[in-house]
Amino acid sequence: MRYYHTNILVVEYPTKFLRTPITARQKFLVAWTDTIAESNFEVIERGTLIGKNKHGTKHARKTTIRVAHNISLKQFIDQASRHFSEKLNVNPHDLKLSFEKFEPFFNTKEVSA
């Protein structure tokens, strides 16, 4: 599998802790790749079985979002906000999505994984 570009997605959303409103923050690895089955957006949860080799099994170490390298920024934001609003039980308008590194959204530079 070829990865073109990787970045860290920071998701911020409002929540309450001991009846005190706070802003929660989670980080996810985003990898742009060329091999995605049906949709342009796929989430691999932490602990999911990735594959087997002669030494044993391999599981995902962190939650990874695989994105098709030809997806537009608008499509990515729509699919990411839909996924995280369902997962975190938050209104999509309350989510704040940002990338850790400021780089262009689409970069064809190949990164070894």
| Per-residue pLDDT tens over the stretch 27-71 | 998 888 876 666 788 888 887 787 777 777 777 778 888 888 878
pLDDT on residue 37: 61
Which structural domain, as residue segments, surrounds residue 12?
3-99
pLDDT on residue 11: 92
Q: How confident is the model at residue 13 (pLDDT cuts 50, 70, 90)?
A: very high
Give the angle 102-107-113 at the CA atoms, nearest 5°: 95
Whether 93 is in a domain gets the answer yes
Whether 54 is in a domain gets the answer yes
Read off the pTM. Answer: 0.75
Q: Report yes or no: 26 and 11 within 8 Å, Cβ to Cβ.
A: yes
Residue 102 backbone dihedrals phi, psi, to 5 degrees: -85, 100
Q: Which of 2, 3, 10, 8 is nearest to 95 (CA)?
A: 10
Whether 107 is in a domain gets the answer no
Whether 12 is in a domain gets the answer yes
Number of domains in the chain: 1
Helix (H, G, I), strand (E, B) or coil at 68: strand
Higher pLDDT, residue 34 or 74: 74
Structure tokens at 25: 């923050």
Whether 89 is in a domain gets the answer yes
Higher pLDDT, residue 84 or 50: 84
